[in-house]
Structures are given as C-alpha cells and as structure tokens.
C-alpha cells in the first residue's frame, strides 16, 4: 500500500486532514460481519446476483450507521478494460463520487483469476471509505493517505471479525508513504 503524492496547493489542507484521521467509529452490533459472512458462499456460487444483494445490504447498513446517503453497488463478472487506476486497490473495484456508484468485480481482467473473499471484502470497504470521504468528511477529493488506509483497515477488520493491526509506515520520496509490512506483521 502506497499513499498518493500530496497535492501542492488548494487541496493540501484536506489531504493533511485525511492523513490525520486514523480511525473511524464502528457499529457496536455484529450486522456488518454477519452480512460479510454471507458474501463468501455467494462468491463461490459464481452468480453475481446474491453477491450484489449482500454487498448492497452491507453498504446500506454501513451508510445508515455513518449517516451518509446510500451508494449503489455494481458487481461485474470481470474487471473492465478501461479503469482509472489510482491505487493497487483499484485493481478490484472503483468508486464514482459523481454517481455514488461502487463497482467491484469478481475476476481480474488479465489472468482472469477469481478475486479472493478477503480481497473482495477489503475492496468493498476501501471503496466505501472513498464514499465516506466525500459524504461524511466532506473532502473535495478522496486521497489514499495513511489515514485513509487506516480507516479502511479499521472497517475491514470489523467486517471480518479479525484483530486490527497497527500499521507502520516508511517515508518515501515526494511525501509518500508505504506500509512497512515487516513491522506491521510483527506488531512492533
């Protein structure tokens, strides 16, 4: 995971704010993990209808909790050929802030590999966090900052019922950061 290059002028304040917000509130109930569990068998069924229904339910519950307008989900069989790539995550889905549509796909375009369940849920949470950036935080853009990735990870681990890991970052040139997986996996 690599952060975006910080914008130079107008959007810099929003970018820095996004970078600083390292967590998000989580629902106290288990609705999101229960819905996420249903996506798993639906994915192996290879019919996108059930997957779409459960994703839609997941996003509806999440939108209600965060008090944001609902977003629409499209589940595609394979990755579209033309897709704006902003991060490695956008290999598996994307979000259009204008239409509030999240698209996720079940197979990668190049090797036609089935997206794993973990990656799929992670993508769903990632794209929903783009939605939150516009609708909850009111940012003018949704950047991949350290805060963004940490918010997305917080939601993902809640959805999977897995323990949240502290993310460690390594500074790169140009004000970017990348995850230090060794330290993150060690936890210190």
Contacting positions for Zn ion (CB under 5 A): 87, 89
Closer residue to Zn ion (CB): 54 or 128: 128
Query: Minimum distance from CB of 175 to Zn ion (Å)?
Result: 18
Which DSSP string corresponds to the chain?
-BPPPPPSSTTHHHHHHHHH-------SSSHHHHHHHHHHHHHHTT-HHHHHHHHHHHHHHHHHHTT----EEEEESS--SS---SSGGGGTEEEETTTTEEEEESB-TTT-PBPPHHHHHHHHHHHHHHHHHHHTS--SS----HHHHHHHHHHHHHHHT-PPPPP-EEE-GGG-EEE-HHHHHHT-
By beta carbon distance, the residue nearest Zn ion is 87
Closer residue to Zn ion (CB): 58 or 149: 149
Query: Minimum distance from CB of 148 to Zn ion (Å)?
Result: 8
Closer residue to Zn ion (CB): 7 or 38: 7
Query: Minimum distance from CB of 142 to Zn ion (Å)?
Result: 7
Query: Minimum distance from CB of 181 to Zn ion (Å)?
Result: 19
Query: Minimum distance from CB of 49 to Zn ion (Å)?
Result: 26
Residue with tokens 């973990």: 118
93 in Cβ contact with 102 (< 8 Å): yes
Closer residue to Zn ion (CB): 54 or 89: 89
Closer residue to Zn ion (CB): 87 or 96: 87
């Amino acid at each position: 995971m690599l952060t975006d290059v910080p914008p130079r002028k107008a959007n810099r304040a929003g970018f820095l704010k996004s970078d600083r917000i390292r967590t998000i509130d989580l629902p106290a109930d288990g609705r999101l993990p229960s819905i996420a569990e249903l996506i798993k068998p639906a994915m192996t069924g290879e019919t996108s209808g059930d997957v779409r229904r459960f994703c839609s339910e997941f996003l509806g519950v999440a939108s209600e909790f965060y008090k944001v307008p609902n977003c629409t989900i499209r589940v595609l069989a394979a990755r579209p050929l033309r897709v704006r790539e902003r991060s490695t995550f956008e290999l598996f889905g994307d979000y259009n802030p204008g239409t509030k549509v999240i698209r996720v796909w079940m197979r990668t375009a190049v090797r036609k590999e089935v997206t794993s369940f973990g990656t799929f849920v992670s993508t769903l949470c990632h794209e929903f966090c783009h939605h939150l950036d516009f609708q909850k935080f009111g940012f003018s853009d949704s950047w991949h900052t350290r805060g963004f990735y940490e918010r997305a990870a917080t939601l993902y681990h809640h959805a999977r019922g897995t323990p949240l890991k502290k993310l460690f970052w390594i500074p790169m040139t140009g004000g970017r950061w990348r995850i230090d997986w060794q330290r993150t996996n060690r936890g210190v």
